[in-house]
């Protein structure tokens, strides 16, 4: 990637829609973008954004606003937060000011855990993203959503989403069915050449991701859609190859574990021999060679190795106090590391294993499913039954690669819902940095 001349450099800017608890917003900030606007409908999530803004979002504060035609704040001013329906906003005052528009439209219409009504669901907010693109004309768009969009029943509509993002100014009127509008968009796209440079067009890259393959200590299958304005001359093929190259693998993790003194066990030297033996016994017989780094595990996250930046290990949860809502982090000022009683394994829900990436953190339609946040602990002695407990909010935030400075608002269930709906910071930062590098390489 090329560097811009010093005299042309200026802070890149971003707008975050459907910000939730702030995962993608934190990622975009860490990639070097200055936020111009946040939008989030849920009041608890807005409280979270405000509480964590200075430490996690790189702004001098967030200022709630009812202004429906927001202006870009000057550097050093608080970023506006519109706590309402994004469809009520007129974002045209931000036209030409935004480098990246980021957001994850609500996923319930396409999630296997929801009603799965897709485009018929009133919670489908992709049309609001297309409207925002028309009004702001950002240089790039980053959009994350559930893998459910790839289900055969949604295949045609998912292609329509990509087509409409490619041609957002070919606006669909209410009387036209999406299927008919999709046919219209397809005809136009079929006639375009690879050299298309129309500023009203965008070039779209769709990436299927497992967050664990990008350094997140969690198996989380998602879809990331990135679009660049066609007139910018971004090398789409190079960008696509870069973001689809996985950096971490299960095989690399297994290789680091297979010897009793392997790198994984050296990092976790306090793990008892009988636990190591049990884990090693269940490794695959065939482990492939590759150039990847090891998947990060739940144990890594709890012990502070869940990201490239080493964090302090979380205080251990006393197994004799599992019947209490005890604050295990209070002595070292770690927020949200509070035990939760009543853990059990539910039918159809296997527990999280310490020496594998965590299972997908879920929001749940009515809160977090009980069995999903249960973790199996180390056996105290050989051949004993392993105890179980619920993950704390802080442990869950760590497997989402949220910084410890992130403080969720509301009761435990609400904080877990915000985490389950979020984008892991490490995953979002990877894509945001790749977008910034691609823009730089194209001279922007």
Distance CA(267)–CA(243), nearest Å, equals 29
C-alpha 92: how far from chain center: 27
Structural tokens at position 6: 């010093």
- Rounded to the nearest 10 degrees, what angle do helices 155-166 and 126-136 cross at? 10
Identify whether the C-beta of residue 253 lies closer than 8 Å to the C-beta of residue 265. Answer: no
Distance CA(357)–CA(287), nearest Å, equals 17
Structural tokens at position 202: 């965008």
Identify whether the C-beta of residue 416 lies closer than 8 Å to the C-beta of residue 396. Answer: yes
Distance CA(26)–CA(428), nearest Å, equals 8
Identify the DSSP state of 121.
S
| DSSP strand pairing (12-17 vs 33-39) | parallel
SS3 364: coil
Distance CA(340)–CA(330), nearest Å, equals 15
> Of 46, 107, 143, 292, which residue is the catalytic one?
107
User: Tokens 């490619």 label which residue?
Assistant: 166
Annotated active-site residue 46? The verdict is no
Give catalytic residue positions.
107
């Amino acid at each position: 990637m090329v560097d811009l001349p010093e005299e042309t450099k200026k802070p890149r800017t971003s707008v975050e829609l459907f910000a939730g608890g702030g995962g993608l917003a934190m990622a975009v900030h860490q990639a070097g973008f200055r936020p111009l606007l946040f939008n989030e409908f849920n009041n608890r999530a807005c409280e979270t954004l405000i509480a964590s803004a200075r430490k996690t979002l790189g702004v001098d504060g967030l200022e709630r606003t009812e202004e429906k035609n927001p202006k870009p704040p000057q550097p050093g001013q608080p970023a506006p937060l519109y706590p309402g329906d994004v469809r009520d906003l007129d974002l045209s005052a931000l036209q030409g000011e935004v480098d990246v528009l980021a957001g994850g439209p609500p996923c319930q219409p396409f999630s296997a855990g929801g009603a799965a009504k897709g485009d018929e669901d009133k919670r489908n907010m992709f049309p609001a993203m297309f409207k925002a693109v028309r009004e702001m004309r950002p240089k790039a768009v980053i959009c994350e959503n559930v893998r459910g969009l790839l289900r055969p029943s949604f295949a045609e509509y998912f292609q329509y989403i990509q087509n409409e993002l490619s041609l957002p100014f070919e606006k669909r009127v209410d009387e036209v069915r999406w299927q008919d509008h999709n046919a219209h968009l397809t005809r136009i796209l079929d006639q375009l050449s690879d050299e298309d440079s129309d500023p009203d067009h965008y070039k779209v890259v769709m990436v299927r991701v497992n967050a664990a393959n990008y350094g997140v200590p969690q198996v989380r299958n998602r879809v990331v859609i990135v679009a660049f304005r066609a007139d910018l001359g971004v090398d789409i093929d190079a960008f696509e190859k870069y973001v689809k190259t996985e950096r971490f693998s299960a095989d690399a993790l297994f290789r680091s574990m297979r010897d009793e003194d392997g790198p994984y066990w050296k990092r976790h030297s306090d793990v008892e021999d009988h636990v190591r033996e049990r884990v090693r016994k269940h490794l695959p017989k065939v482990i492939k060679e590759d150039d990847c780094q090891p998947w990060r595990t739940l144990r890594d996250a709890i012990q502070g190795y869940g990201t490239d930046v080493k964090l302090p290990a979380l205080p251990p949860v006393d197994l004799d106090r599992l019947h209490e809502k005890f604050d295990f982090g209070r002595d070292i000022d770690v927020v949200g590391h509070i035990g939760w009683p009543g853990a059990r394994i539910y039918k159809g829900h296997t527990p999280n294993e310490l020496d594998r990436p965590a299972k997908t953190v879920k929001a749940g339609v009515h809160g977090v499913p009980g069995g999903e946040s249960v973790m199996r602990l180390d056996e105290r002695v050989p051949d004993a039954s392993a105890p179980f407990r619920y993950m704390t909010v802080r442990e869950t935030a760590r497997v989402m690669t949220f910084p410890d400075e992130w403080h969720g608002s509301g009761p435990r269930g609400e904080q877990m819902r915000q985490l389950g709906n979020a984008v892991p910071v490490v995953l979002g930062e990877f894509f945001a940095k790749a977008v910034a590098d691609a823009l730089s390489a194209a001279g922007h």
